[in-house]
Amino acid sequence: MKVYDEKHIKNIALLGGAKVGKTTLAETMLFEAGIIDRRGTVEEKNTVSDYHEIEHERGNSVYATTLHTEWRNYKINIIDTPGLDDFSGEIVSSLRVADTCVIVLNASHGVEVGTELIWNNIDAYQKPTIIAVNQVDHEKADFQSTVEMAKESFGDAVTLMQYPLNAGNGFNAIIDLLKMVMYKFPEEGGKPEKLPIPDSEKERANELHNELVEKAAENDESLMELYFEKGNLDEDELRQGLKIGMLNHDVFPVFCLSAKKNMGSGRMMGFIDNVAPSASELYPEKTLEGKEVKCDANEPVSLFVFKTLVEPYLGKITFFKVLSGSLEVGMELQNAQNDVIERINQLYIMDGKNKNTVNKLVAGDIGATVKLKNTQTNHTLNAKGETKAFKAMEFPGARIRTAIKAKSKQHEDKLSEVIKEIHEEDPTIEIEYSKELRQLILSGQGELHLAVTRWRLEHVYGIEVDFITPKISYRETIQRTATANYRHKKQSGGAGQFAEVTLTILPYTEGMDDPQGFNIRGKEIIDLEWGGKLVFYNCIVGGVIDARFLPSILKGVMELMEEAPLTQSYARDICVLVHDGKMHSVDSNDISFKIAGNKAFKDAFMHADPKLMEPVQDIQVLVPDDLTGDVMTDLQTRRAIITGIDSKGLYQAINAKVPLAELDRYSTSLKSITQGRASFALTPAGYENVPYDIQSKLVSQHLVEEEV
């Protein structure tokens, strides 16, 4: 396979909502370039990119898949991404290594909520962007409305490059505003005929062409001077201005096409070749120390690992982008994160599941290798002696959780290990054993995300599992001061046990002064692992309790802090003042004072107006304007407190605080209410008091469970 230099490699990510035709477009681009001789379809389950069994079963993309084409002396690496935000981790990793983002829109639906969310990531990276309006051959296609929605969502940088002459069922012609010609396609699609623009379209085409010229000229001072001087720009000057605009995120060229009929994709590929920036033309990558690294084949080699995939027969496949230098088979590279030396024994260019073996890849290219034992996603590999490391990708936090349990005991230990392996492939899948809840908690982006994980566990790894509603991590605290005394006395022959402890407890608040009325002789502030504080005061006078027994009293208190009286949840934010008691010269010992301290603390706790606290989440729901009321109503039934509503393009962002207990299966409910047109993000917001009626119910429920 030909080795392309860094100036002739273009990396694009196909992005957009579900069912907009990204996989079909990728298939058509490969066919146009002659990489494949027959186009597959999603329906027939024979496309190059959607090759996993789960993708065939579901009929849509689950994984981001790397492909390549070779088009007019350029190599175009393509990453076909999923459209559902359940698989947002795949989108984040694809964006990280793309030079240009191609947002694919459905001409019948315009900008959908999934696209809005993807746009937020594109905008954060400031990546050059192309907009491809697909399915203009659909009977309900509305190209103009789609472009208007794009402008409202993405801004004035949206710039027409062409428009369909006859969108809808009879679509077969495009007016190109850069070349000022009409492309007319044969009925079966493919190579178009280049014709003059019809007289009926000349006025509109000239007007839009002038807008395009102005947009290109305003990105460069010298081009602006030429434009004022000549009143126009030639095609090469237009390309130059558009490229500068794309690099500055000021121009988002718009193309129209029917990927299914192979109409318009070749023209967009030509634009990617001629205008879209290569990696060497982008702003240099920066290391964690802020040093710029040029995309230059002559520099020391550096790779950034953006994706890991485990295949049943191949093992671990590591996908990377060559950020600098030239990579060759046999090289030994040093991992910047752990200093381990990894040998590159094979190099591949991947087209879905097909491996194309190569001996060399240069700066700007995307490739894969196998059997790297100590290298993971987000790692940097360098030539020996180089210490460069690049910023890790930030993946979205979990939005849904479930408790998971293997149906067979023999698989219990294997389950955690397998999910850790899945996490290595998909960092948005998280697994954690909660000591507090005594449950294995699996977290992800949505119901579908967890369902796909379950499918993989059962079909790939042979582990059948149950999903169980996860328990809630409640906290217990107190609302007023209480004092209690407990005497522990036990005599059973020989030395007995004796201890008496008197203590007072009160609520702790950050920055509070020490309590008044006590002779404080010592103070210990304990930052609890589960949040909050315990402040333990020694207020003993007159030696009624020997100082050596205070750690035992604290140990007894801590035992109850870990299993508080109401529901055996963790307790937090309490001050304990030990100020009186008794001991015996023979029978007093550590165990006696631990028991006495525990019992006194429990008694005081139950008389201090104990209160349950529940975890609360900040939630932001992105929803179409016409569905805002329905979503707010549903949130309020979940005890949500609405904190604000912001406009984001065609959508409303509803901000609220919601108890975690009310968010079980929320993603399913939201999809049902909005027909899949809304999305949400969660952030932990701390703990709030549980309403009294719910607290009573939870305490009663716990007592019943204890009796059972």
Task: Considering the domain delimited by 6-215+249-281, tell me its CATH architecture.
Answer: 3-Layer(aba) Sandwich (3.40)
Q: Is 526 helix (H, G, I), strand (E, B) or coil?
A: strand
157-186: average pLDDT = 95
Please check whether the two domains, 400-471 and 613-694, share a CATH topology: yes
**Contacts for 339 with CB less than 8 Å, ≥ 6 apart:** none
Cα 266 to chain centroid distance, Å, stands at 33
> CA 131 to CA 161: how far, in whole Å?
10
DSSP string covering 209-255, please? Answer: HHHHHHHHHTT-HHHHHHHHHHSS--HHHHHHHHHHHHHTT--EEEE
User: By the 8 A CB rule, do 91 and 104 touch?
Assistant: no
pLDDT value of position 71: 87
pLDDT value of position 585: 85
Which tokens belong to 570?
């963790």
Tens digits of residue pLDDT in 331-385:
999 999 999 999 999 999 999 999 999 999 999 999 999 999 999 999 999 999 8
User: What percent of the chain is predicted at pLDDT more than 90?
Assistant: 80
Helix (H) / strand (E) containing 683: strand 679-689
Pick the CATH number of 476-609 from 3.30.230.10, 3.40.1010.10, 3.40.50.970, 1.10.150.120: 3.30.230.10
pLDDT value of position 530: 93
165-187: average pLDDT = 94
User: By the 8 A CB rule, do 399 and 445 touch?
Assistant: yes
pLDDT value of position 494: 66
User: What percent of the chain is predicted at pLDDT more than 70?
Assistant: 99
Tens digits of residue pLDDT in 65-104:
999 999 888 999 999 999 988 999 999 999 999 999 999 9
Q: Residue 708 above 60 pLDDT? A: no
Find the range with the poorest average confidence among 160-174, 280-294, 670-684: 670-684
> CA 302 to CA 434: how far, in whole Å?
39
Amino acid sitting at position 372: L
The better pLDDT of the pair 268, 112 is held by 268
Q: Residue 422 above 60 pLDDT? A: yes
Tens digits of residue pLDDT in 108-143:
999 887 787 788 888 888 999 999 999 999 999 999
> What mean pLDDT value characterizes the chain?
93
Q: Domain 285-383 falls in which CATH fold?
A: Elongation Factor Tu (Ef-tu); domain 3 (2.40.30)
DSSP label at 368?
E
579 — pLDDT class (breaks 50, 70, 90)? very high
CATH, range 400-471: 3.30.70.870
493 — pLDDT class (breaks 50, 70, 90)? low
173-201: average pLDDT = 95
Which tokens belong to 206?
């000239």
209 — pLDDT class (breaks 50, 70, 90)? very high
224-232: average pLDDT = 83
pLDDT value of position 286: 94
286-296: average pLDDT = 94
> CA 175 to CA 161: how far, in whole Å?
9
> CA 563 to CA 435: how far, in whole Å?
12
pLDDT value of position 393: 95
Q: Where are the domains of the chain?
A: 6-215+249-281, 285-383, 400-471, 476-609, 613-694
319-331: average pLDDT = 97
Tens digits of residue pLDDT in 518-535:
999 999 999 999 999 999
444-465: average pLDDT = 93
pLDDT value of position 223: 85
Tens digits of residue pLDDT in 618-651:
999 999 888 999 999 999 999 999 999 998 877 8
Q: Residue 220 above 90 pLDDT? A: no
> CA 448 to CA 419: how far, in whole Å?
16
Give this prediction's pTM: 0.86
Find the range with the poorest average confidence among 271-275, 417-421, 518-522, 693-697: 417-421
Amino acid sitting at position 121: N
CATH, range 613-694: 3.30.70.240
> CA 174 to CA 168: how far, in whole Å?
12
Which tokens belong to 46?
């024979």
Q: Residue 463 above 80 pLDDT? A: yes
User: By the 8 A CB rule, do 13 and 29 touch?
Assistant: no
Distances 160 to 46, 77, 207, 406 between C-alpha atoms, Å:
34, 24, 11, 54
